[in-house]
């Protein structure tokens, strides 16, 4: 996979702006040129037909150099000619602010298609149209118009944020700044005629000054690049936070088969995030909550959290949240308890949550500082969360102590500050203390860090599969012209890919069925009608279970043919299937379907009637590793399928994971197969076996 | 149920403060007296041995009147004598600030027990000790020490808040004020030697000036009062929000039986909240989010939400949240679309979410105002959510338009304001606009209102059951001295309470079992060992299923006795049970256990092996109505059990609800029964029947 080098676009050495006004400083182009000229170290040019003066030219061809980046802020009809001219001159990147393209009707869409053609034909990097540009604070490059004209150059922090939506980016910038998050990069992509959110992420993940990635988008244009970015982020130990809008729209994408109906597109995106370690946030606010902790670049050495509160009830709430996010409210080491006890009243607690009581704070903040220090330096805790809130001048005093103590440690730390005193809040935010208004958010952010670190070792690159052409060719002989394979053909196909299936035999007559059962010698058997017209054969009397002997097979076969003839006289009957009765055990469903975005997806969940009742199916993008499959399996039934004594054993889980990997390989090798539904996949003491299967073609 | 009249405590006509300092104005008593004297219309007295001057006396006995309320701020050792003296003089209420009682060791606990005795013996209303008091703004009574000395009298809003924890109450007060929530009542209860959180709620729910109740507590001392408050709140159309700390602690309360292990105490509290319409918030922040909407006292006329945004991506996020909380993102009526379209660029959207685009706002706020008005006055929407955010002076302009439009309508309305401009935020908060930083919270609050209204009609008072003594006496003849009943006795007991159970017969010999089966004439049958020592009889070879005839029963009976003798030679064998084979169908589990707080609880969930895998059991406090049972059933499998085509029918649901109600009656009538586990309860075309049951005694 070759990804574009975005240096000319995002780290230009020189910039020309077309569309800045000579007279109106509030025009989009003028505002951008103003911000560029305030801080940018490279050369900037104004291109204007009536322009005169230094670094000003009347047309692109008169530029004294081939600039890296062309900023386009001309009216919509002029955009394509300007960009085409720039490309012709050899300018390698264009940033197009102008709106009214694909988002504004057929004419706009046609113009955008022309821009896409220019990008494809010339390799020009096109950001936009309908973008608000970007800020690269590391290179002091503010290529955007949304900032106040007199804004000071914000500090360049380790966070890089990419947003398709410009308006959301301005919200994010505003809210981030208020929390002391200073994104070193903030890039918007707008209509994405050329460069996409994932292109930018793929570029930024490799930048050494970037330690944390965050992005928001409605769509997902390059799923492969997305997976690549996620694995690179994990390899480089960089948290990658994603906020995807459009969950409800995705939910509407109802699927046809009963497997697909319970795993629409958004569940697939969610599953890919888990599979490749992307931390999906529910909201912009939650993403920013997490970034406050991630930008500190502190890491957990373990899962023990020390809690400090001035309120017993608050401490209990903090402990609840810590438990929810998988942190361990460990007991304060005895030596530290002794230390703390000398600074708190007898009705406080040094155990954990440490409750200093409101009285202890009121009686002076010196001891509060000592207690805080004891907690952050304790060998008993890997991170610390503090909840506090005061009115008046004491708020500032406490804030100073918290900030100073925060800087003494490199343990992850999160503060809940129940105070609207802005001065005190500012002191802590400026010191870099992750500061929140509720422990669900403060400790939730530490929980996101825990989750990031916990999954880090598991994330590997997407597995590469070399198709087995001979096997694929053999498989294709089993696919007919009907939209679905018969059960027998479905099982043969699965058998070809190494899936264990129950023993069975097909007969075209009642006597043939009896002979087949006798030859199989595996009573009790099941007898089923074979017909491509009857996908739900038990509903029409086409199934007899637990048949004990030859006479029984004869009786069952006759009964089936009579019942089916009566209820579905139109159905084409191909014969009868005699089948070894599957062992009894836990019934799973395992399958494959194709997501419009991410392609083949392997599913696993509880089987039988329950698959629909619970809609509790875990997913994996194919191709997949055994570890991916195991992780998905570990999600089924809220983790209870794997951990419960009545669930499945590690050996059985291995066998199921192997089946899932094989289903993924099959999906990659045979794109004409639209979906597979193995239901039930029976997990018993004697192993794992597919008792029934349905394969659908596209 | 008689509840105390808290007027003397919370609406006193006169107050005496003991423990205010003559020289130190920052002492707890002095601060309280100061706040009382600033605003309170009744008489206030300072009681101090060396005190002189107007409204100052040297001891309680010298008070010129029997005051309503005694405020106690003396050191811990002096508290009991002062309170006892007050009670002796006939003072009806005491507010005790002093700490160091039950929370501070054995001596404190003993002193608190003395206070409890005084309360019990004299009927004195005791708030505290270790409380920070209360604010009753309607009567201008600030009986607390935590407020700054120069605070202005806050406005008295329709919200009443009760908090056991004083420190949390100060946080709540601070955060609420910042959001424009002005609680008319804020009451804390501390150690609750007398008055509890639920006592206060029971008093406040009846107050005409209270329109919204909110409370937070770690424990739940009066579950009956809690249920009473909840039903009164519903009857009076007052939302009741509760934040309960201690979820994780509750989770630790591991239960013994396998039913109880999946429904610990916190799940019971959660279930009671749903059953009686209490809106349980996950955090203080979420509770305040909801109160912002509730305090407006606006109501939804339907579920259609109009969304207004300046960002396409933001609109998608808003739609996602609206969908999550059950609001309908209905299409803007065509006439309103036409209106809106004239004020937005062609690349905006008037459909819903209405996207005015950043450009439309930038070009002047007049049109923005018109669009807002169109939305709030549209007949197509029952509520409106707006997302916006601007920097600089335009933020104030937009805020003024939003505030003005908000006041033009009485539809529920929530604003996401992505701006840190405090002036603009203040304008809206002061106008009463519920204002948030993220749409998950803004629209989440409208969702809480929807949920409140949706459940309002369903909440009725707890049903009253008159025990059937004759039935209870008959039932008691079935209970032996063993901790668990045999299956046969368990079924007889259930049968006595009208539960349908499968037909069965007990035999003491193999031949007796054969005869029983022949007499029953309901082949196939199951044969099972009968032994109080073998609760899990299938694990020791004690069960044979699907036995087809007399010979089979003989063979099965011999096999069972041999297997059990080999595997559990110690077990006392009482005989063999011959049982009609249950029909096949959906298997549920239905049961009863006793919660340490709420008493008998009826459970229902998916049965068989899955009950442990899924831990998906819905609960109801007993006694219960059929509607309670139906609501619980509707929660099973995320609602899919009732709505799915492979789930259960309305008739079947009726039958199950009837069984649940009967189990609840049984639990109320027979307190010696600790738990009941009906597993499986089989739901088939032929009805609902208990196939197996286990009854445990306490």
Q: Each residue of A645-683: pLDDT tens digit?
A: 667 899 999 999 999 999 999 999 999 999 999 988 999
Both structure tokens of A653? 């889980």
Please indicate whether, in this complex, the C-beta atoms of B644 and A613 are within 8 angstroms of each other. Answer: yes
Output DSSP code: residue A587: E
The answer to whether the Cβ–Cβ distance between B312 and A104 falls below 8 Å is: no
CA nearest neighbour of A369 among A390, A343, A347, A341? A343
Chain B interface mutation, best of A102, A318, A614, A639, highest count of B Cβ atoms under 10 Å: A614
The chain B residue lying nearest A245, using CA atoms, is: B317
Query: Are B319 and A248 within 8 A, CB to CB?
Result: yes
Residue of B102, B152, B171 best to disrupt the A interface, most CBs of A under 10 A: B171
The phi, psi pair for B641, rounded to 5°, reads -60, -35
Is A358–B170 a contact, with Cβ atoms under 8 angstroms apart?
A: yes
CATH of B300-456, picked from 3.40.50.261, 3.20.20.120, 3.50.50.60, 3.40.190.10, is 3.40.50.261
pLDDT at position B250 is: 29
Which residues from A are below 8 Å from B327, CB to CB?
none
Query: Are B316 and A249 within 8 A, CB to CB?
Result: yes
- A168/B313 Cβ within 8 A: yes
For residues B217 and A589, what is the distance between their CA atoms, to the nearest angstrom?
A: 44
CA distance A124 to A61: 17
* Cβ within 8 Å, pair A249-B391: no
**Cα atoms in the 13 Å half-sphere on the side-chain side of B429:** 19
CB B485 within 8 A of CB B478: yes
Of B314, B615, B646, the CB nearest to A609: B646
Is a pLDDT exceeding 50 seen at residue A48? Answer: yes
Closest Cα in chain A, distance from residue B489 (Å): 28
| Closest by Cα among B278, B270, B255 to B592 | B255
A317 chain-B contacts, CB cut-off 8 A:
243, 245, 283-284
User: What architecture (CATH level 2) is domain A503-580?
Assistant: 2-Layer Sandwich (3.30)
Helix B284-294 to helix B439-456 angle (10° resolution) is: 70
For residue B509, give the 3-state DSSP assignment: coil
Contact A313 B420 (CB under 8 A): no
B345 interaction partners in chain A (CB closer than 8 Å): 99-100, 104
Q: Do A251 and B391 touch (CB under 8 A)?
A: no
What is the pLDDT at residue A221? 80
Which of A381-385, A534-538, B545-549: highest mean pLDDT? A381-385
Interchain proximity A218–B313, CB inside 8 Å: yes
- A419–B313 C-beta distance less than 8 A: no
d(CA B105, CA B144): 25
Q: Do domains B503-580 and B586-697 have the same CATH topology?
A: no
Answer whether A168 sits within 8 Å of B646, measured CB to CB. Answer: no
pLDDT at A1 over 70: no
- Residue A559, Cβ density class (10 Å: 0-12 exposed, 13-18 middle, ≥19 buried): middle
Interface test with chain A among B103, B132, B167, B635, by most A beta carbons within 10 Å: B167
pLDDT-based confidence at residue A197 (cuts at 50, 70, 90)? very high
Residues in chain A: 698
Look at domain A7-293 and name its CATH class.
alpha beta
Nearest to A311 among B165, B329, B644 (CB): B165
Q: What is the pLDDT of residues A591-616, one digit of tens each?
A: 999 998 899 999 999 876 666 666 67
The CA radius of gyration of chain A, in Å to the nearest whole number, is 32
In degrees and rounded to multiples of 5, residue A338 shows phi and psi of -60, -45
How far is A417 from chain B, CA to nearest CA, in Å? 9
Instruction: Encode pLDDT of A174-189 as tens digits.
Output: 999 999 998 999 999 9
Work out the pLDDT band at A543, boundaries 50, 70, 90: confident
Spatial neighbors of B395 by CB under 8 A, at least 6 apart, are: B389, B419, B421, B423, B424
For residue range A271-289, what is the model confidence (pLDDT) as tens digits? 999 999 999 999 999 999 9
Contact (CB<8Å) B283/A105: no
Mean pLDDT along residues A566-595: 88
CB–CB contact A165 B638 (8 Å): no
Residues of B in contact with A609 (CB under 8 A): 586, 646
Look at B171 and A389 and tell me if their CB atoms are within 8 Å: yes
Query: Which among B163, B316, B359 is the nearest to A99, CB-wise?
Result: B359
Q: How far apart are CA A11 and CA B426, in angstroms?
A: 40
What does the pLDDT read at residue B497?
A: 96
Enumerate residues 6+ apart whose C-beta is below 8 A from A481: none
> How many degrees, rounded to 5, is the angle at CA B161 between CA B159 and CA B165?
165
CA-closest candidate to residue A677, choices A99, A60, A255, A116: A255
Q: Which residues of chain B have pLDDT under 50?
A: 250-264
Select the residue from A171, A215, A244, A264 to test the B interface by mutation, using most B Cβ atoms within 10 A: A171
Share of chain A above pLDDT 70, in %: 95
Q: Which residues lie below 8 Å from residue A86, measured CB to CB, with a gap of 6+?
A: A60, A70, A94, A124
Q: How many CB pairs under 8 A join A and B?
A: 227
Boundaries of every domain in chain A: 7-293, 300-456, 503-580, 586-697
Q: Which of B213, B179, B184 is nearest to B198 (CA)?
A: B213
Interface test with B, best of A347, A425, A615 (most B CBs within 10 A): A347
CA B645 distance to own-chain centroid = 31
CA–CA distance, B506 with B529 (Å, rounded to integer): 10
Q: What is the CA radius of gyration of chain B?
A: 32
What is the mean pLDDT of the segment spanning A509-534?
A: 88
Closest residue to A646, CB basis, from B243, B248, B613:
B613
Contact between B283 and A170 using a beta-carbon 8 Å cutoff: no
Give the minimum alpha-carbon distance from B115 to chain A in angstroms, rounded to a whole number: 18
* Chain B residue numbers touching A438 (CB-CB < 8 A): 283-286
Cis amide prior to A524 (ω within 30 degrees) = yes
Judge: A311–B168 Cβ closer than 8 Å, yes or no: yes
- Give the closest-approach CA distance of A636 to chain B in angstroms: 9
ipTM over 0.85: yes
Task: Locate the chain A residue with the closest alpha carbon to B98.
Answer: A359
| Nearest-angstrom CA–CA distance, B171 and A387 | 10
Give the fold, CATH level 3, of A586-697: D-amino Acid Aminotransferase; Chain A, domain 1 (3.30.470)
Of residues A296, A268, A263, A295, the one with CA closest to residue A280: A268
- Per-residue pLDDT of A545-562, as tens digits, reads 878 889 889 988 998 999
Q: Return the ∠ at Cα B448 (arms to B446 and B454), rounded to 5°.
A: 105
Give me the residue label for tokens 């749409």: B439
Peptide bond before residue B14 is cis, with ω within 30 degrees of 0: no
Q: Tell me what the pLDDT averaged over chain A comes to.
A: 90
Q: Which residue of A has its CA nearest to B103?
A: A347
C-alpha neighbours within 13 Å on the C-beta side of residue B247: 21
Q: Using the beta-carbon criterion (under 8 Å), do B311 and A167 form an inter-chain contact?
A: yes
Are the beta carbons of B145 and B133 closer than 8 angstroms? yes
Between A259 and A70, name the one with better pLDDT.
A70
A chain contacts of residue B320, beta-carbon cutoff 8 Å: 245-248
8 Å CB contact of B167 and A314: yes
Q: Which residue has the higher pLDDT, B148 or A89?
A: A89
Confidence at residue B261, expressed as pLDDT on a 0 to 100 scale: 31
Strand B525-530 relative to strand B575-580, pairing? antiparallel
What pLDDT does A260 receive? 28
Q: Which of B167, B178, B612 sits opposite A310 (nearest CB)?
A: B167
What pLDDT shows up at residue B300?
98
Beta-carbon separation of B283 and A168 below 8 A: no
The three-point CA angle A234-A236-A242 to 5° equals: 45
Chain A nearest CA to B282, separation (Å)? 8
**Partner residue facing A167 (CB), from B174, B310, B329:** B310
């Amino acid at each position: 996979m070759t990804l574009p080098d975005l240096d000319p676009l995002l780290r230009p050495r020189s910039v020309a702006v077309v569309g800045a006004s000579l007279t109106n400083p509030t025009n989009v182009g003028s505002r951008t040129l103003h911000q560029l000229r305030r801080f940018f170290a490279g050369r900037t040019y104004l291109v204007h037909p009536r322009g005169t003066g230094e670094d000003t030219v009347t047309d692109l061809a008169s530029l004294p150099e081939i600039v890296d980046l062309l900023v386009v802020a001309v009216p919509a009809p002029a955009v394509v000619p300007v960009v085409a001219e720039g490309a012709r001159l050899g300018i390698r990147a264009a940033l197009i602010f102008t709106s009214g393209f694909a988002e504004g009707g057929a004419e706009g869409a046609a113009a955008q298609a022309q821009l896409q053609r220019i990008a494809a034909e010339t390799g020009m990097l096109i950001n936009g149209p309908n973008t608000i540009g970007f800020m690269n604070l590391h290179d002091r490059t503010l290529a955007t118009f949304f900032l106040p004209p007199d804004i000071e150059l914000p500090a360049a922090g380790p966070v890089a944020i990419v947003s398709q939506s410009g308006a959301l980016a301005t919200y994010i910038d505003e809210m981030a700044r208020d929390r002391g998050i200073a994104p070193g990069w903030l890039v918007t992509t707008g209509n994405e005629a050329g460069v996409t959110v994932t292109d930018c992420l793929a570029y930024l993940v490799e930048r050494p000054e970037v330690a944390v990635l965050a992005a928001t988008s409605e769509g997902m244009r390059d799923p492969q690049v997305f997976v690549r970015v996620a694995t690179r982020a994990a390899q480089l130990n960089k948290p990658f936070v994603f906020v995807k809008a459009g969950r409800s729209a995705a939910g509407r994408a109802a699927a046809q088969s009963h497997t697909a109906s319970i795993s629409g597109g958004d569940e697939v995106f969610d599953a890919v995030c888990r599979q490749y370690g992307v931390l999906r946030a529910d909201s912009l606010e939650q993403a920013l909550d997490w970034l406050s902790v991630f930008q500190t670049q502190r890491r957990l050495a373990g899962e023990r959290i020390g809690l400090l509160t001035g309120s017993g009830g608050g401490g209990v709430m903090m402990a609840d949240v810590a438990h929810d996010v998988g942190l361990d409210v460990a007991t304060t080491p005895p030596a530290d308890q002794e230390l703390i006890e000398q600074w708190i009243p007898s009705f406080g607690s040094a155990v954990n949550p440490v409750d200093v009581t409101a009285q202890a704070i009121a009686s002076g903040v010196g001891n509060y500082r000592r207690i805080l220090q004891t907690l952050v330096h304790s060998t008993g805790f890997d991170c610390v969360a503090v909840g506090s809130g005061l009115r008046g001048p004491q708020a500032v005093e406490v804030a100073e102590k918290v900030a100073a103590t925060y800087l003494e440690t490199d343990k992850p730390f999160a503060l809940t500050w129940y105070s609207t005193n802005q001065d005190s809040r500012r002191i802590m935010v400026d010191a870099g203390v992750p500061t929140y208004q509720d422990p669900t958010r403060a400790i939730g952010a530490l929980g996101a860090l825990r989750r990031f670190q916990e999954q880090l070792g598991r994330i590997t690159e997407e597995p590469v599969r070399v198709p087995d052409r001979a096997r694929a060719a053999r498989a294709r002989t089993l696919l007919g012209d009907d939209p679905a394979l018969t059960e027998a053909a479905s099982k043969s196909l699965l058998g070809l890919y190494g899936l264990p299936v129950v023993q069975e035999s097909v007969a075209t007559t009642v006597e043939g069925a009896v002979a087949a059962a006798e030859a199989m010698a595996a009573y009790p058997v099941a007898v089923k009608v074979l017909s491509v017209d009857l996908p739900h054969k038990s509903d029409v009397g086409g199934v007899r279970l637990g048949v004990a002997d030859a006479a029984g097979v004869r009786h069952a076969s006759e009964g089936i043919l009579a019942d089916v003839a009566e209820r579905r006289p139109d159905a084409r009957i191909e014969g009868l299937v005699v089948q070894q009765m599957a062992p009894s055990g836990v019934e799973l469903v395992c399958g494959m379907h194709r997501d419009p975005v991410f392609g083949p997806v392997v599913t696993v969940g509880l089987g039988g009637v329950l698959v629909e009742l619970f809609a509790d199916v875990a997913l994996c993008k194919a191709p997949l590793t055994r570890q991916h499959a195991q992780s998905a399996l570990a999600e089924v039934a809220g983790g209870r399928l794997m951990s419960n004594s009545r669930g499945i054993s590690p050996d059985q889980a291995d066998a199921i994971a192997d089946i899932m990997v094989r289903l993924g390989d099959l999906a990659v090798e045979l794109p004409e197969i639209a979906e597979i539904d193995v239901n039930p996949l029976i997990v018993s003491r004697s192993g794992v076996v597919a008792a029934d299967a349905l394969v659908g073609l596209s």
